[in-house]
Structure 1
Amino acid sequence: MNLEPQNNLLTNKIINQQDVPENDTPMSITEHLEELRQRTLFIFLFFLLAATFSFTQIKVIVAILQAPAVGIKFLQLAPGEYFFSSIKVAIYSGVVATTPFAVYQVILYILPGLTVRERKVILPILVSSILLFIIGGIFAYFILAPAALTFLISYGSDIVEPLWSFEQYFDFILLLLFSTGLAFEIPIVQLLLGISGTLSSSQMIRAWRYIIIISTIAGAILTPSTDPVTQIIMSSAVLVLYFSGIVILLALKK
């Protein structure tokens, strides 16, 4: 008895099941829009709660953000500068706190329409993007910010006394944390390009000369300070992230 046709049918059935959404119950456009509206409202309400809570704990958050600036005295150079800067810090903190919840809501929204094969790809990418953003912020706080501030404080300290504007410092530190978090998303972008077939790992390797130039430019753009130390560290981090993405694609044979 020839079992090969039956085995082929079973294999094809398993493959086809991976390409069919687990929940293939049809929904109208109105139902999709209503669900999207509800989840967007949940995200907005969570953001309001997170930003409000951050504002109530603003002294703690400000103390954490001020920690890298050792030996600096901050001045309020305009009426209400501390108040409006506190609102800005609370909003940034609310956005950061809301991001994981927002990604969770996105997963819940798209999950019913994903096939088994798509779930194995998209869900890890979404989770990894959050982790990389957090790691980027931690890297900026513990590595980039101290390096930049050490250079800026020591340079010319024998001539001028370092008295900094409260608002300008927090614009600097918040922008540094946010831009570094975005820079750490480079492997995610590479992974998406590789999986979609837009670029292969071999093509990315051949472009290494251009990437060195681009990383140098990115280091200058992404760092809010103009000191060379921070720019070199950021450029090096971009290069490491880029080649890490290539290693991942090579492991996936893309």
Structure 2
Amino acid sequence: MDPSTEPVEAAEPRLLDHLLELRARLLRAVVGLLVAFVALLPFGNRLYAWLAAPLLAKLPAGGQLIAVEVASPFFAPVKLAFFTALMATVPWLLYQAWAFVAPGLYAREKRLAMPLLVSAVMLFYIGCAFAFFLVLPGVFGFLVHMAPQGVAMMTDINAYLDFVLVIFLAFGMSFELPVALVIAVMLGWVTPAQLREARGYAVVGIFVIAAIITPPDVVSQLMLAIPMVLLYELGIIASRWVSPRDQVR
């Protein structure tokens, strides 16, 4: 046998094993998501009533959501059940991804990756909870108050669901800022000292981003920008733990 062909022949079984492992992990992830979706499907209407509570609480007496499209009363709760299942199974989905890539990581990378994954999931959930319990009531109170006299605010259930999901995604992803800063420091793109020096530019950028991704009202912009500024400071502190000592100062 030609020795030059041995590495290629040895690599083919390993590649096949990786592909089979990837397929198995993807299948487990999809099955877990489907199981959660089927379990939540009977509670779709209850989930939607819970999600609509921040708006209904701010509407005048007799105010309500409406269904413009014929099938909206069916599809809106189903859509919400799916996204709820997706959010609920994020730890399971990330675990499958972790189980696939972990064998190829060094011990130090494993020690750092697990806290980052857990922190990312927790910060995303905290961002969504912050949006639901604090931001949405403030935003809806502002919008209802600003409605012209004689205009009854009655929102379509699909439009409301899309609006809330966008808010959840915006705040959930924005709360990942400390994790993003830590990863940037780990990759050597920036140092904690550079992050501190760029604090002023970062604050301006944060307020610009908040103005772009939030509804056109001051309340939601401030309620996103202020936590992000605090999270930026938290990211600087956390990045000091993973950066070399000569880069901390």
Q: TM-score range by the shorter chain?
A: 0.7 to 0.9
Query: How far apart, in 2, do the equivalents of 1:248 and 1:66 lie?
Result: 36
Q: TM-score, normalised by structure 2?
A: 0.86
116-125 or 83-92, which deviates more: 83-92
Query: How far apart, in 2, do the equivalents of 1:36 and 1:93 lie?
Result: 25
Query: How far apart, in 2, do the equivalents of 1:214 and 1:54 lie?
Result: 39
C-alpha contact (below 8 Å) 2:147/2:153 kept by paired residues: no
Match of 2:28 among 27, 42, 45: 42
C-alpha contact (below 8 Å) 2:33/2:85 kept by paired residues: yes
104-113 or 193-202, which deviates more: 104-113
C-alpha contact (below 8 Å) 2:33/2:86 kept by paired residues: yes
Count how many residue pairs are aligned between Structure 1 and Structure 2.
227
Match of 2:238 among 227, 239, 248: 248
Say yes or no: does 1:130 pair with 2:121. yes
Say yes or no: does 1:229 pair with 2:219. yes
Deviation digits for residues 18-75 of structure 1, max 9, x if unmatched?
Answer: xxxxxxxxx7111011101100011111111222222211022112201111134101
Deviation digits for residues 145-188 of structure 1, max 9, x if unmatched?
Answer: 11111101111364322211111111111111122111111111
Task: Give the drift of 1:86.
Answer: 2.0
C-alpha contact (below 8 Å) 1:51/1:90 kept by paired residues: yes
In structure 1, list runs of 5 or more residues that go unmatched.
Answer: 1-26
Matches within 5 A, 1:34-183: 34-69=20-55, 70=57, 71=59, 72-156=63-147, 158-183=149-174
Query: How far apart, in 2, do the equivalents of 1:155 and 1:85 lie?
Result: 27
Query: How far apart, in 2, do the equivalents of 1:96 and 1:120 lie?
Result: 25
Task: Give the drift of 1:214.
Answer: 1.3
Give the partner amino acid of 2:225.
S
Q: Look up the SS of the partner of 1:163 in the other structure.
A: coil
Q: TM-score, normalised by structure 1?
A: 0.84
In structure 2, list runs of 5 or more residues that go unmatched.
Answer: 1-12
Query: How far apart, in 1, do the equivalents of 2:131 and 2:213 lie?
Result: 11
C-alpha contact (below 8 Å) 2:127/2:173 kept by paired residues: yes
